[in-house]
Amino acid sequence: MTPPAAPASAFDAPSFSTSRFRAEREADWIAFDLLLTKLEKKGAAALTSAELLQLPLLYRATLSSLSIARATSLDKALLDHLEALSIRGYFLIYGVRESRWNRLRRFILYDWPAAIRSVWKETVIISLIILLGALTSYSLVSSNPEWYFNFVDEEMSGGRDPRATAEYLQSTLGHGKAVAGESESGLHIFATYLFTHNSRVSILSFALGFAFGVPTMMLEYYQGIGLGAMIAVFAGKGLGYDFGGWLFIHGTTELFAAALSGAAGLRIGTAVVFPGARRRLQAASEAGRTAGKVMVGVIIMLFAAGLLEGFGRQLITDTPLRYAIGSLMLLFWLGYYYIPRREDAA
């Protein structure tokens, strides 16, 4: 005769229950939670030496509890609690904690200049393209002024074309009564318009980079076209020096920013065309991260250029002083970007 089976409760019950497991270890979890809360709210400086030594010990104890809980299939609520506590502890103990101010400081001092240094080849190429566009239109307009209207829109030129007299052209540079009579109260509107317009063109130049960089180079070439045509008109009237000062005060910043935006777009286009050993999408993604940092800086530069153009150029009419300010701005940007510094940046 087969003996009756023993009661299931006597053999199937776990060697320890959730309540017993919790009772044996919960004190460590609570202590760990309190230390993490203190660390989050007041920082590491608020912890005593004993608490700092205790922190990794409690972290390992929590991980051990989590491991046992998973292996013995304890209740899900307890597992979720231990997982959340472990993840929180990991990021607070081993993660990089940096305040917003420190992240901003790091970006301005290191990340931004490092990103711009990394696209120096593209910057040189785009600068040469702008220069080529300017030389092309300058030579054509100088030989035949009728070419001017193929490069500069009638409305945009505002009367500054080959038909204008030298006196009128000089007045548009801030040296005559025509400009002196303009309302200075509208300068901030003018500066806002310039900033918006230049930002739009730069972002477009950057955004079109994904199309193998071709639209970007065409857009930058077109910018040079307009510039060279305008220089030819003023130089033809003997106002090349004055026009240079009018352009220089803000142009060194603005054209530099334009070259950088084109370089950012070209970096993406180059990554798409020549991804190397990487997948094309991965190469474009990595290039996009660098280009994004460059573009943040470009917007800041365009903001500075907008202020110089909207206020500085209108209020400062002394040509040597315009050259001096433009030169100082150029030296500032070159020094800021390219002077060697610690390599803990990028």
**Residue 192's pLDDT is what?**
63
Q: Tell me the per-residue pLDDT of 6-24, one tens digit each, with 9 for 90 and over.
A: 444 444 444 557 778 888 8
Pick from 63, 79, 94: which residue ends a domain? 94
State the pTM of this model.
Answer: 0.68
Q: How confident is the model at residue 235 (pLDDT cuts 50, 70, 90)?
A: very high
Using the predicted structure, report yes or no on whether residue 48 has a pLDDT greater than 80. Answer: yes
Specify the range with the lowest mean pLDDT, choosing from 96-100, 269-273, 277-281.
Answer: 96-100
Instruction: Indicate the number of domains in the chain.
Output: 2
**Mean per-residue pLDDT for 109-125?**
91
Let me know if residue 346 belongs to a domain: no
Using the predicted structure, report yes or no on whether residue 178 has a pLDDT greater than 60. Answer: no
Asked if 239 and 95 touch (Cβ cutoff 8 Å), the reply is no
Let me know if residue 119 belongs to a domain: yes
Q: How confident is the model at residue 343 (pLDDT cuts 50, 70, 90)?
A: low
Neighbours of 10 (CB within 10 A): 7
Q: In 3D, which of 330, 327, 272, 276 has the Cα closest to residue 301?
A: 330
Write the burial class of residue 158 (CB in 10 Å: 0-12 exposed, 13-18 middle, 19+ buried): exposed
- Same-domain status, 87 and 176: no
Q: Which domain holds residue 27?
A: 18-94
- Same-domain status, 144 and 276: yes
Q: Tell me the per-residue pLDDT of 238-256, one tens digit each, with 9 for 90 and over.
A: 999 999 998 889 889 999 9
- Same-domain status, 323 and 224: yes
Query: At 339, phi and psi to the nearest 5?
Result: -70, 130
Using the predicted structure, report yes or no on whether residue 201 has a pLDDT greater than 80. Answer: no
- Same-domain status, 240 and 283: yes
Using the predicted structure, report yes or no on whether residue 183 has a pLDDT greater than 60. Answer: no
Using the predicted structure, report yes or no on whether residue 155 has a pLDDT greater than 80. Answer: no
- Same-domain status, 105 and 220: yes
- Same-domain status, 222 and 280: yes
Let me know if residue 126 belongs to a domain: yes
- Same-domain status, 115 and 68: no
Pick from 65, 94, 123: which residue ends a domain? 94
Per cent of the chain over pLDDT 70 is 85
Q: Which amino acid is at 20?
A: R
- Same-domain status, 42 and 123: no
Let me know if residue 345 belongs to a domain: no
Q: How confident is the model at residue 207 (pLDDT cuts 50, 70, 90)?
A: confident
- Same-domain status, 181 and 301: yes
- Same-domain status, 32 and 146: no
Per cent of the chain over pLDDT 90 is 23
Pick from 63, 94, 125: which residue ends a domain? 94
Specify the range with the lowest mean pLDDT, choosing from 69-73, 177-181, 253-257.
Answer: 177-181
- Same-domain status, 253 and 329: yes
**Residue 3's pLDDT is what?**
41
Task: Name, in order, each residue with C-beta under 8 angstroms of 134's C-beta and a sequence gap of 6 or more.
Answer: 224, 225, 227, 228, 231
Asked if 297 and 116 touch (Cβ cutoff 8 Å), the reply is yes
Let me know if residue 286 belongs to a domain: yes
- Same-domain status, 160 and 256: yes
Q: How confident is the model at residue 97 (pLDDT cuts 50, 70, 90)?
A: low
